[in-house]
Structure 1
Amino acid sequence: MSPETPSTSDSPAVPDVLAPARLGPVNLRNRIIKAATYEALSYRSRVTEELIEFHRRYAAGGVGMTTVAYCAVAPEGRTDRHQLLWEAGAAPGMRKLTEAVHGEGAAISAQIGHGGPVANPKGNGMPALSPSRQFHLTTLSFAQEATHDDIGRIVRAHADAARMAADTGFDAVEIHLGHNYLASSFLSPKINHRTDGYGGSLKNRARFAREITRAVREAVGDRIAVLAKLNMDDGVPGGIWLDEAIPVAQWLEEDGCLDALELTAGSSLLNPMYLFKGDAPLKEFAAVMPQPVKLGVQLFGKQKLRSYPYRDAYLLEDARQIRAAIKMPMVLLGGITDKPVMDRAMAEGFEFVAMARALLREPDLVNRIQQDEATPSLCIHCNKCMPASFTGTRCVLVEGTSPRGDHWGQTVVS
């Protein structure tokens, strides 16, 4: 059991976010997780030295676990043609990545999933998949309807990915059930118009996600921890919202396949800024986009990339409602910036917190909070790290960081 802060009432003791904790079969040195942020540092679907260094820095900076994003389970599921892909040739690099993180005393998780309608058909050289035929404004192409064979193949691919993650030293996998990637798009009544056993009622729309989590657990047993990242709200009219997210979370708990549930929001397909809150850097997004997408961002960016007010712990209000409905461990994401916010999450009944932008600005933030709990975050939530993810994810305000150089891609680990 992890040390806990004594309680002065009859309520349960509040966990100390900086003390060791247990996540399924894994021991973590604290309850702080580096959230998945697409790194854009893999090359030809392989680990690079730059990707290893990216995660080693967060491990050295004090997080309990860092999350590698986004690792596609099938070639057509990549949102970037260079994205990590679970295949045999990637294993040596994955092993070196996990060894580097373990060498700094942290655990490491792999986010696994299928991009579905968010995938890049032109870069992948194959059609994207969706629950129903779907036009993708970003790629100006249609995603084709997933067949039953596709569904079965992708479920098995998640299991194979999880097995490979365990074999290459990962301590956990995080199943991506959010942001209207494939499993999330099945959950969405706005995107899923099927009339078979995977469409219509919420239970049918949740079937694919549940089949994935069961297959993953069966593949890894108790070798590693299994988490899922679930949308509470797509941020679009007609999408999934809390009234449906709550029963989905309850079914996932009943299935008994998860060690923890991380909650998220927004649609990478339909409303990408809804998750992040803060400024929408339209000029920076336009600068990294190819034509005709660049022109579309310049003309219609304010409608597609909306700004939302930022506040610390901005997903807490909705996440609290799911927290009240289930008992499994939960991870609070969204506006986790400093120790008081982390303590608030613990007091609200969450067992872990996940940080992203604050750590991009300061990879050693957790170590400094350990030394001085009053340490503030320097992140200003400008969100310029988002368009930077097309050339190598980083905080653009930190001196010495730069896009991928001319020699990027020459350091693939094999």
Structure 2
Amino acid sequence: MASWADHAIWWQVYPLGFTGAEAAALPADEPVRHRLRHLENWLDYAVELGCSGLQLGPIFASETHGYDTVDHFRIDSRLGDDADFDRFVAAARDRGLHVLLDGVFNHVARGFPVFGRAEADPRAAAWFRRSPTGAETGGDTGGDTGGDYDTFEGHRHLVALNHDEPAVLDHVVRVMDHWLGRGVSGWRLDAAYAVPPQFWRRALERVRPRHPGAWFAGEVLHGDYAEYVSASGLDSVTQYELWKAIWSSLNDGNFYELAWALERHNGFLKTFAPLTFAGNHDVTRLASRLTDERHLGHALAVLFTVGGVPSVYYGDEQAYRGIKEERAGGDDAVRPAFPGSPAELPAAGRPVHGLHRRLIGLRRRHPWLVRARTSARNLDNTTVALLSADPDHPGEELLTLLNAGDRPHRFPAGSTGRAVLESSGGTTADPYLVPAHGWRILGGG
């Protein structure tokens, strides 16, 4: 993993939604919309939040939501042009912010030019994976001829690339090289789980020598994360197991689930630092997911005191709500527009914003947490003490006390001299006495 990524804390933004862009691509004769400048207005906000990088959603020319790419070498005209991009990256770097791009390399839109040539040109057809059933997946072909191409998870308009085709590998390598050369620090690889891991390894063997400091994280939902990292050569993958355990254990009053997930998480940390999160562009927002709003701080306390590379999804730090629905447009509620400047944000989000700033600040003061192992102690359904420690530097540790129950709970004092570094509020002479539905992070001792 690139050394700078050990200290990365990402602010994830879905640019098309953030900037209020149109739902579909602009007609060819429409002028470019320079909306990346709107996002540029929020760079100082990201820095003040405590983040050190921007994890951007799709910014390349697409048909609708960005994950249906038509040109990997062109900025979507709803967002801007090359000059806007270069200006944005320079402004981010001036503030010490790394930029991570979203690489959609598992599938493309039906409007992707090579796909348009596929029926007449066998070389173009080889770019795309054929359906094993011999008929196009995802429903009615709408009268298309040669409709035996595989699609991404049944979405007819997303045609699956053939990752055994050398021309596809060459294309992905060129795309990665191009934008890394333009100043970005790495790639988040969309739907990496649908791509053979050996494809990423072959690509990175060609890209890394020219960009040795770049960082590559893949979207993987479940399975053996460590094995996928090993086989693919990626630096990291998304930690969906921990994401689910954080909110589910709080909703169900079952910290045993969180303890199990953290045990798995510790195993992953032996070989890589997972990309951790409490929310992202594909899931219901944390504030909407939790059945008890008093537990939002508990979730964040876990996120920022366990090992990994944490990411904050824009709006979560303002307690935005939004429910993802499995329908056309079902992502819109979790991908909203942000106002023109931070001064226009509703005052109601300030307490949660302040909590994020404090916890991110704590995280940055304890950079060893990226590789920390976390053990669950004094475990019960609604109470747990999480001890996060650095295996390479004995003595570096934090103790996170979580109480999701209806009564105050006193945890056993395993060490003297611990001080309260952050908490859900309330004062007491006993740092181990946690109020009902409260939490504390202790250090020292």
Contact 1:71–1:113 under 8 Å retained in 2: no
Q: Distance in 2 between matches of 1:74 and 1:322?
A: 35
Matched, 1:24 2:2: yes
Contact 1:173–1:227 under 8 Å retained in 2: yes
Offset at 1:54?
2.6
Q: Distance in 2 between matches of 1:322 and 1:333?
A: 13
Greater RCO (CA < 8 Å, at least 6 residues apart): 1
Q: How many residues align?
A: 281
Query: Matched residue of 1:101: which SS?
Result: helix
RMSD: 5.2
Alignment of 1:193-208 (within 5 A): 205-208=196-199
Matched, 1:321 2:321: no
Corresponding letter in the other structure for 2:272: M
Q: Distance in 2 between matches of 1:138 and 1:37?
A: 31
2:45 equivalent in structure 1: 60
Alignment of 1:124-203 (within 5 A): 126=116, 129-130=128-129, 132=131, 134-137=136-139, 142=147, 144=149, 151-176=165-190, 178=191, 183-186=192-195
Alignment equivalent of 1:353, drawn from 300, 303, 310: 310
2:10 equivalent in structure 1: 33
Alignment of 1:104-143 (within 5 A): 104-116=95-107, 119-121=108-110, 126=116, 129-130=128-129, 132=131, 134-137=136-139, 142=147
Q: Distance in 2 between matches of 1:56 and 1:74?
A: 24
1:387 equivalent in structure 2: 329
Alignment equivalent of 1:344, drawn from 302, 305, 310: 302
2:36 equivalent in structure 1: 51
TM-score by length of 1: 0.51
Larger strand percent? 2
Query: Given the superposition, is the C-alpha separation of residues 339 and 32 from structure 1 closer, same or farther in structure 2, using an over 3 Å criterion?
Result: farther
Corresponding letter in the other structure for 1:95: D
- Cα deviations across residues 11-33 of structure 1 (Å, max 9, x unaligned)? xxxxxxxxxxxx715379x6421
Q: Distance in 2 between matches of 1:143 and 1:96?
A: 43
1:261 equivalent in structure 2: 237
* Unpaired runs of at least 5, structure 2: 119-126, 151-159, 280-285, 288-295, 346-445
Query: Given the superposition, is the C-alpha separation of residues 227 and 339 from structure 1 closer, same or farther in structure 2, using an over 3 Å criterion?
Result: farther
Corresponding letter in the other structure for 1:26: W
Alignment of 1:69-84 (within 5 A): 69-71=57-59, 79-80=67-68
Q: Distance in 2 between matches of 1:231 and 1:213?
A: 17
- Cα deviations across residues 280-319 of structure 1 (Å, max 9, x unaligned)? xxxxxxxxxxxxxxxxxxxxxxxxxxxxx899x9999657
Q: Distance in 2 between matches of 1:310 and 1:65?
A: 33
- Cα deviations across residues 218-240 of structure 1 (Å, max 9, x unaligned)? 34223xx222223133xxxxxxx
Corresponding letter in the other structure for 2:227: P
Q: Distance in 2 between matches of 1:85 and 1:310?
A: 43
Matched, 1:232 2:187: no
Q: Distance in 2 between matches of 1:245 and 1:347?
A: 21
Query: Given the superposition, is the C-alpha separation of residues 264 and 24 from structure 1 closer, same or farther in structure 2, using an over 3 Å criterion?
Result: same
Q: Distance in 1 between matches of 2:231 and 2:54?
A: 27
**Higher deviation after alignment, 83-92 or 157-166:** 83-92
Query: Given the superposition, is the C-alpha separation of residues 331 and 105 from structure 1 closer, same or farther in structure 2, using an over 3 Å criterion?
Result: same
Percent identical among aligned pairs is 8
**Higher deviation after alignment, 341-350 or 85-94:** 85-94
